[in-house]
Chain A
Amino acid sequence: MWSALALTTLLPLAIAINVPQTYINTAIARTIELGGLTTQITTQYNIKPLDNSPGEYHLALAGENDVEPAWWEVSLGGKKLEGRLLDESPPTVAVQLGKTKKDEVITLSLTQVLAHTSTPLPAEIEQRDPQYLVWNTNSTYVDSWYPTDVERVKIRAPHPSILSYSSVPETYTRDNTITKSGGTLTLGPFHSLPPTLGTTKIAEQKAFSVHYETKDPVIGIRNLQRSAEVSHWGANLNIQDYIELVNEGPKLKGHFSRLAHQQSKFHASVPAQILTGFTMKLPPTAHSPYYYDYIGNVSTSHFRQGSTPATVQKNKKVRTSPRIVEGNLELKPRYPILGGWNYSFTVGYDIPLGDVLKTDSEKNRKVLAVPFLTGLKDVVVDNAELKVILPEGASDVQVYTPFAVDTIEHSIHKTYLDTTGRYAITLKKAQLTENHAQNVYVTYHYPLSAQLQKPLTIASLVGSLFLLGMGLRRVNYSIEKK
């Protein structure tokens, strides 16, 4: 529940906040996994409190003038911790460490996903050239408000070919500064590092960059609009995504040779920057998918329905796995997407309503779970919108989001056989990754009168036609007086 916990602090807006130096980091180990649009950073902090009531631990998420990561999570001993995000310039989380003893080391783990930190270099390549990205960061050392005894940063590129990397200042190193082994760069170990943030300065942060090769296309989604429509009579939830896909890799220089592309497909050596298709994982009971763009239906897709233990029981002839298997939808865009090219399409599917909607007879309400988006590996969604359309007559609607969203709007949506219109909730958020593919819960009150609203509307319409017929029968149409 980040939305409730993102409180503003009472401290005045200063460039650096005053963090009491009640902790020191005995060791910090950071691993950075480089990818296309996303970078995954896992940091482990060994923290030692210096007195018996040290207060909250201020965990820096990034350096000065840096933005908050697209997704982050703090955990202590394997369990997720709720931190309080402070409204300050270097994004910082204040974490309650629980019962601490003086000089007893605690291990805190921070997982972050950064978006758009790698840029293609060279920015334009020919169709068959390899693709290289440059990962940039403003902080070589791990940003921290407290001094550190030992620190080590490991950077893992997806492939062993790293073209170049910048240097590390030798101020805090003893023997090695950077060691390269295959696709892994190890920076440090750094010893006796003062805090990198704060008023009492402090270790100077130098920018660091890695120029590496990536063998997968760099895909981003500019705009994602998802609508989830609930139907009680049909016991169905329809999920429809409108996606604007873009290849954020190096742009194509020269022309696209269809011949060269067909030849490369035949020899199974499609260049790294070309997106030919991707797979979406759907809920196990999803069925009847459709895939079209503004030209029409796109037939280059393949769907394999998933199974749950409940559905497996029905088909005793076929031996399938008793565990939950997700549905598999392979989509191939109408044309291969090279660097800088866009492709917009609509994909949708149906889910039996019993799998997502639950009845709460105690409070006389229904509870609905709608996934915010379908996560794709290493893909960043710049703008996402989820519109949950409840059946006609739903009232007393409450929305519960797994993370803070930018806006929540309530509106009326009109579609087939509607009179008063359906209650629609629109949630908008920017910069999402596959970690944001969590459920949004909506509760609403749906009385029997709302359930019968549609049949009664149609019945009254037809009944009025009958009454009209009865009236017209009794009208005298003859010209002469009868």
Chain B
Amino acid sequence: MSETYASIKTLHSSLPSFQPPISTSLLPSIALIFLLAFFALTFLFTTLPKSKVPIPEITTALLASALAGGGVVALFCTVGVYV
């Protein structure tokens, strides 16, 4: 232990508070929008034609996955399971 308990205690009271990267009041809206967009893009993905170099498919898949990732984490936080 490099510091003593007393020094950490004074340090803790003087430091700035933690700010979440995305404000918690926005999380329910983000969950809804992201997941709806994910659903829409997945549907779009299923309608894409098969091609030699599947650029539209890959881009849709990447975008949909990113939206799913953010949306699920926001959804979990909205319902009270703070992940």
Query: A412 on the interface (CB 8 Å rule)?
Result: no
Q: Is the CB of A232 within 8 A of B20?
A: yes
Q: Is the CB of B18 within 8 A of A357?
A: yes
0/1 interface trace, chain A 385-401, chain B, CB 8 Å (1 if under) = 00000000000001011
Query: A402 on the interface (CB 8 Å rule)?
Result: yes
State whether A231 and B9 are in contact (beta carbons under 8 Å apart), knowing that A455-B69, A462-B69 are contacts in the complex. no
CA A338 to CA B77, docked complex, whole Å: 41
Q: Is the CB of B17 within 8 A of A454?
A: no
Q: Is the CB of A233 within 8 A of B65?
A: no
What residue in chain B is nearest A238 (Cβ atoms)?
Answer: B82
Contacts of B52-80 to chain A: CB distance below 8 A: 54, 57, 61-62, 64-66, 68-70, 72-74, 76-77, 80
0/1 interface trace, chain B 15-29, chain A, CB 8 Å (1 if under) = 111111110100100
Closest chain-B Cβ to A179's Cβ sits at a distance in Å of: 43
Q: Is the CB of B64 within 8 A of A462?
A: yes
Contacts of A140-164 to chain B: CB distance below 8 A: none
Q: How many A-B contacts at CB < 8 Å in the complex?
A: 131
Q: Is the CB of A354 within 8 A of B77?
A: no
Q: Is the CB of A460 within 8 A of B65?
A: yes
- Given A238, A366, A398, A463, which contacts B18 in the complex, CB threshold below 8 Å? A366
Q: Is the CB of A470 within 8 A of B65?
A: no
Contacts of A195-240 to chain B: CB distance below 8 A: 229, 231-236, 238
Q: Is the CB of A357 within 8 A of B9?
A: no
Q: Is the CB of B8 within 8 A of A455?
A: no
Main SS of the interface on chain A? mixed
State whether A459 and B66 are in contact (beta carbons under 8 Å apart), knowing that A233-B83, A234-B24 are contacts in the complex. yes
Q: Is the CB of B8 within 8 A of A367?
A: yes
Residues of chain B within 8 A of A469, CB atoms compared: 45-46
Closest chain-B Cβ to A359's Cβ sits at a distance in Å of: 6
CA A288 to CA B77, docked complex, whole Å: 14
Query: B5 on the interface (CB 8 Å rule)?
Result: yes
Q: Is the CB of B69 within 8 A of A231?
A: no
- Given B8, B12, B50, which contacts A473 in the complex, CB threshold below 8 Å? B50
Q: Is the CB of A456 within 8 A of B69?
A: yes
What residue in chain B is nearest A369 (Cβ atoms)?
Answer: B12
Q: Is the CB of B76 within 8 A of A416?
A: yes
CA A463 to CA B60, docked complex, whole Å: 10
State whether A355 and B82 are in contact (beta carbons under 8 Å apart), knowing that A234-B27, A441-B8, A454-B73 are contacts in the complex. no
Residues of chain A within 8 A of B18, CB atoms compared: 232, 235, 353-354, 357-359, 366
Query: A457 on the interface (CB 8 Å rule)?
Result: yes
Residues of chain A within 8 A of B38, CB atoms compared: 462
Q: Is the CB of B12 within 8 A of A470?
A: no
Query: A479 on the interface (CB 8 Å rule)?
Result: no
0/1 interface trace, chain A 450-482, chain B, CB 8 Å (1 if under) = 010011111110110011011001100000000
User: Most B CB atoms within 10 A — which of A236, A353, A400, A460?
Assistant: A400
Q: Is the CB of B8 within 8 A of A231?
A: no
Closest chain-B Cβ to A222's Cβ sits at a distance in Å of: 28
Residues of chain B within 8 A of A4, CB atoms compared: 1, 4
Closest chain-B Cβ to A197's Cβ sits at a distance in Å of: 31
Q: Is the CB of A458 within 8 A of B72?
A: yes
State whether A441 and B69 are in contact (beta carbons under 8 Å apart), knowing that A235-B20, A236-B82, A238-B82 are contacts in the complex. no
Closest chain-B Cβ to A430's Cβ sits at a distance in Å of: 20
0/1 interface trace, chain A 332-360, chain B, CB 8 Å (1 if under) = 00000000000000000010011101111
CA A470 to CA B15, docked complex, whole Å: 50
Q: Is the CB of A398 within 8 A of B65?
A: no
Closest chain-B Cβ to A74's Cβ sits at a distance in Å of: 16
Query: A25 on the interface (CB 8 Å rule)?
Result: no
What residue in chain A is nearest B22 (Cβ atoms)?
Answer: A233
Closest chain-B Cβ to A83's Cβ sits at a distance in Å of: 15
Residues of chain A within 8 A of B68, CB atoms compared: 458-459, 462
Q: Is the CB of A400 within 8 A of B83?
A: no
Known: A238-B82, A350-B82. 7 other contacts (CB 8 A): A233-B73, A235-B20, A358-B16, A359-B15, A401-B5, A459-B66, A459-B70
